Amino acid sequence: MNMQEYISQAEQDLLHTYNRFQIVLDRGEGVHLYDIEGREYLDFVSGIAVFALGYHYPGYDEALKDQIDKLIHTSNYYYNVPAIEAARKIKAASGMDRVFFTNSGAEAVEGALKAARKYAYTRDGHTDHEIIAMEHSFHGRTFGALSVTGNAHYREAFEPMIGNIRFAQLNDYDSVLSRVTDRTCAIILETVQGEGGLIPAEAEFLRKIRKLCDEKDILLILDEIQCGMGRTGHMYAWQKYGVKPDIMTTAKALGCGVPVGAFLMTERVGQNSLVAGDHGTTYGGNPLACAAVSRVLDIYESDGIVGHVKEVAPYLESKLDELVSRFDFIIERRGTGLMQGLKCDRPVGDIINRAVSSGLILINAGADIIRFVPPLIIEKEHVDRMIDILTKALEEV
């Protein structure tokens, strides 16, 4: 079948929950993707911040193939070596103490919320605890994750959500403080908001929230699913501020393509929250997924991936700033590291479609923001090529 025939077949068979680009991707190499007709695309989406190492990074495929030849799945009734090694390595990278592997970011958020409520229940025996989340946040599509996602459009058709969720404004400490009650058990936020507009949490805001949580025995949950794994120039974005969470979620680039996530916690939370029977997963922490995690973390350390981000990100920022200066309808650049956005005074769908037609894959973050989350291994030459294609698309509109 040709590309259009495949697309037509997909529209007959798949549930239409995505408005997909009209291309059928077939393979990847480095920082490029190729459709089934052989056309090349420069990838500045990386599977929505997943393929941090690009496609077929040396040593990654081999680790998965080796594990497939050994064992793919066992269930969590047994130990397996890849999970044990992956847990040790992610603890070292994050500075956290306890790990629970999941299949996705949304599942990691679900586990984090359960851990927070169980911690509070263990402390006082009450079941009416509240969680404060941020407006414009995005934490996933499952019911718990959706309940703390600060966009009513995502929630309204699926009400009622889980109860006792109160929303505050990111970077507005008084807004958060006004929502704290004696029933507040956790505050959850993205260290850098992704879908909400590429907005980093401010250092002073995070420090005040950390102090508030310490004073009132409230757990701070930081969602690092998109902004973690080196994307901001730090292994986890909170490490830039030195504001350690009580619970942290991670996924996306954790497996660099293999579906895997995790929620991590401090020893204090681990000893006073979830116990045997409270939480579980059939596939989470299976040998194949954890072999991916283990090899990814090895590559990050041996090949200096985070250091490379610090080298190339300022160049990307400077080139995007030039576009802000050149085009009146681009309002500002937002973001940090290799998690960037251009906010425009109009919808950006047409711009993105034109870029894709010219061989550059981009996505949006909301209707008016072009989002840039490329593989972390991009070089300046890839930034230049992206800017050339994007500039032409901007000129056309």
Predicted confidence (pLDDT) per residue in 299-354, tens digit: 999 999 999 999 999 999 999 999 999 999 999 999 999 999 999 999 999 999 99
pLDDT band at 249 (very low <50, low <70, confident <90, very high): very high
User: Residue 220 pairs with which residues in a beta bridge?
Assistant: 187
pLDDT for position 25:
96
Domain boundaries, the chain: 3-57+304-396, 71-303
pLDDT band at 290 (very low <50, low <70, confident <90, very high): very high
pLDDT tens string 171-209:
999 999 999 999 999 999 999 999 889 999 999 999 999
Average pLDDT, integer, range 371-396: 98
- Tokens 């306890």 sit on residue: 98
- Tokens 């990691």, located at residue: 108
Task: Report pLDDT digits (tens) over 16-57.
Answer: 999 999 999 999 999 999 999 999 999 999 999 999 999 999
Tens of pLDDT, residues 85-141? 999 999 999 999 999 999 999 999 999 999 999 999 999 999 999 999 999 999 999
pLDDT for residue 397 is more than 90: no
- Check: CB of residue 286 under 8 Å from CB of residue 73: yes
Fold of domain 3-57+304-396: Aspartate Aminotransferase, domain 1 (3.90.1150)
CATH of the structural domain 71-303, one choice from 3.10.20.30, 3.40.720.10, 3.40.50.1260, 3.40.640.10: 3.40.640.10
Candidates 344, 343, 335; CA nearest to 316 is 335
Residues 6+ apart with CB under 8 A from 387: 319, 322, 323
Q: Percentages helix, strand, coil for the chain, rounded to the nearest 5?
A: 40, 20, 40
Three-class secondary structure of residue 171 per DSSP? coil
**With contact defined as beta carbons under 8 Å apart, do 236 and 244 qualify?**
no
